């Protein structure tokens, strides 16, 4: 007799508001005891949650991106102990049919089978069987585990499988899935001189995969402009002593964020995102701005929330605090989620212009370069003015050229006359 049971998140230790990064079952799936249901990830670790019972999944109550805690409902399952004893064990459908190789000769080492790259038709309902550590390793390298067949027990994908897949892809041994860009050929640089290999750190591996996806999936356009920030910079410097009395380091960034906030309210499409199917525009009623921070381990983008509800001093304090945590490597995953628009400032380093990559699923990013004194004609004579170059890269599916230049024109005007922010 079937019995419906609720499977809830068990005690997983000192973790709260843990994010669901993978849902490994769906309604109708038959699962056995200890089969993985979901994968969770905190800022400290990732873990799979196993099923305490066997049966058929009736409903899945969580989605990717949810944050859950002990006792939250994960799955409603129809438990059937008889079915486990009598029903034949379902065998996974093979992705491709290959001739059976002859058995190895006595003493000959059996060759390890290479991972197979399935076709798109094979992939939709295929769930990868791998440990949290292997899933994290695959994500860092940008490998879709659904394309691999595992060589471990019960078809479990191992770290060696991921590495073999990468090697075979680079050497042309695995056919690319339609729509994927061909891999660059491997080059032995040591033929040309002395070399040294240095492992990329985790942040650069993760951000590299994200930037590649953004660059290849978003049709970029970049609009360049300049802003006369002479008066704004004079005002900022005049307020520095007052800010120091309140333990605030008053940089240019809070003023820039307030100008961006005003421009985003005027142009809501720049504060939006495309739906997953690309057919709808999600207009956000909040303004969260990500600020790129240079750290010893690479670039990270913490998000300052509700910029429209905070003053310049409030933003300055929050920037000081979150930038310090970023450089110490103490940001939580939630600190880098939910952004509507990103600012990448290289003004403190140098350069004149650059083309930042849109931080998808956002649709625009602002790049700021170093300001410099320039002679500007005022109608009668040339006068020295502090001019800041900036650039806006945007998703051309959402923002057309006319809207892009109107946004940068307004932003330049706001920065040139900060009094406009109070209107």
Which residues are marked as active site?
A: 396
Comparing CA positions, the residue from 261, 315, 325 lying closest to residue 293 is 325
Report the residue count for the chain.
423
DSSP class of residue 278 equals S
Return the C-alpha torsion angle 277, 282, 288, 289, nearest 10: 60
Residue that the structure tokens 């939006």 belong to: 272
Q: Is 224 helix (H, G, I), strand (E, B) or coil?
A: strand
Q: How far apart are CA 365 and CA 221, in angstroms?
A: 11
Q: How far apart are CA 377 and CA 314, in angstroms?
A: 37
DSSP class of residue 363 equals S
Query: String of b and e for 16-31 (b: at least 16 CB within 10 Å)?
Result: eebbbbbbbbeeebbb
End-to-end CA distance of the chain: 70
Question: Count of CB atoms within 10 A of residue 182's CB?
Answer: 8
User: Cα 362–368–373 angle (5° rounding)?
Assistant: 160
Question: Count of CB atoms within 10 A of residue 13's CB?
Answer: 9
Q: Is 208 helix (H, G, I), strand (E, B) or coil?
A: helix
Backbone angles phi, psi at 230, to 5 degrees: -60, -50
- Tokens, residue 345: 């400032």
Question: Count of CB atoms within 10 A of residue 382's CB?
Answer: 10
Strand 18-23 versus strand 36-41 pairing type: antiparallel
Backbone angles phi, psi at 194, to 5 degrees: -70, 140
Q: How far apart are CA 319 and CA 297, in angstroms?
A: 19
* Cα-trace Rg, the chain: 27
């Amino acid at each position: 007799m079937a019995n419906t049971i609720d499977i809830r998140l068990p005690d997983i230790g000192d973790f709260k508001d843990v994010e669901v990064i993978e849902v490994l079952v769906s309604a109708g799936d038959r699962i056995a005891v200890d089969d993985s249901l979901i994968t969770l990830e905190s800022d400290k670790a990732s873990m799979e949650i196993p099923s305490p019972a066997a049966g058929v999944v009736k409903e899945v109550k969580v989605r990717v991106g949810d944050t859950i805690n002990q006792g939250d409902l994960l799955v409603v399952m129809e438990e059937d102990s008889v079915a486990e004893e009598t029903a034949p064990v379902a065998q996974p459908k093979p992705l491709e049919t290959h001739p059976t190789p002859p058995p190895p000769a006595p003493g000959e080492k059996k060759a390890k089978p290479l991972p197979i790259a399935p076709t798109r038709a094979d992939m939709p309902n295929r769930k990868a069987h791998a440990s949290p550590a292997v899933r994290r390793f695959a994500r860092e390298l940008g490998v879709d585990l659904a394309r691999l067949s595992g060589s471990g027990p019960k078809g479990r994908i191992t770290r060696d499988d991921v590495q073999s897949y990468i090697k075979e892809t680079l050497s042309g041994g695995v056919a690319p899935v339609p729509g994927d860009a061909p891999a660059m050929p491997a080059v032995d640089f040591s033929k040309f001189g002395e070399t040294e290999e240095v492992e990329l750190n985790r942040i650069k591996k993760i951000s590299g995969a994200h930037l590649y996806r953004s660059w290849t999936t978003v049709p970029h356009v970049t609009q360049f402009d300049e802003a006369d920030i002479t008066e704004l910079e004079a005002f900022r410097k005049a307020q520095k002593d007052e800010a120091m009395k309140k333990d605030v380091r008053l940089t240019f960034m809070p003023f820039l964020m307030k100008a961006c906030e005003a421009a985003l309210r005027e142009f809501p499409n720049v504060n939006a995102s495309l739906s997953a199917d690309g057919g709808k525009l999600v207009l956000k009623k909040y303004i969260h701005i990500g600020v790129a921070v240079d750290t010893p381990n690479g670039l990270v983008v913490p998000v300052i929330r509700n910029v429209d509800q905070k003053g310049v001093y409030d933003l300055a304090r929050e920037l000081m605090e979150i930038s310090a945590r970023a450089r110490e490597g103490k940001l939580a995953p939630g600190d880098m989620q939910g952004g509507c628009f990103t600012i990448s400032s290289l003004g403190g380093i140098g350069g004149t212009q650059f083309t930042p990559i849109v931080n998808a699923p956002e649709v625009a990013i602002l790049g700021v370069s170093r300001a410099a004194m320039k002679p500007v004609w005022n109608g009668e004579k040339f006068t020295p003015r502090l001019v800041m170059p900036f650039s806006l890269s945007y998703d051309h599916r959402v923002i057309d050229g006319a809207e892009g230049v109107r946004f940068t024109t307004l932003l330049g005007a706001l920065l040139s006359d900060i009094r406009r922010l109070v209107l």
